[in-house]
Amino acid sequence: MASTSTNGTGVNDNRSPADVVPLFDFSRFSAMNENMFSEAVRLNARLSTTMQDIGKEWAAFVGTRLGEDHHLFENLHTCRSVPEMQQVCTRFWLDAFAQYGEEAQRLMRISQGLMQEPVREASPSPSVEIKPDLHQAA
């Protein structure tokens, strides 16, 4: 019977380095980090583009609203009676509320587009059908 010698730690001294199972696979870890980094870069690029689009949309809206504010004062200056001023102000506020509501919807659509692509990528493809294992459930 052949005896194997140990160094007191329970490790077999007769094994070759090729027989030892690596404790950590650095190549897989590196590939995983590379994938995570590339996905983070893609998400960052989409986020940056979306924020630019939101900024452009908001700047255009604010410019339009400032023009509307200027027209309000012009219209108020030409009013000859209190009811006419009330009508001008009422029209201004109704238009403002409607425009702010429309702008909020536009901004929501822009920001919603940021998350649609990652959700689409994460969801299973329609060709893959997931069937529950009924035997396992019983």
Q: Where are the domains of the chain?
A: 50-120
Mind spelling out the 3-state secondary structure of 85-103?
HHHHHHHHHHHHHHHHHHH
Per-residue pLDDT at 126: 58
- In sequence order, which ranges of 1-138 are alpha helices (DSSP H)? 26-78, 82-122, 134-137
Cα 14 to chain centroid distance, Å, stands at 55
CA distance 29 to 36: 10
CA-wise closest residue to 113 among 58, 36, 51, 60: 51
Per-residue pLDDT at 94: 97
Low-confidence ranges of the chain (pLDDT < 70): 1-25, 118-119, 121-138
Per-residue pLDDT at 105: 95
Cα 34 to chain centroid distance, Å, stands at 20
Per-residue pLDDT at 129: 57
Q: What is the pTM of this model?
A: 0.59
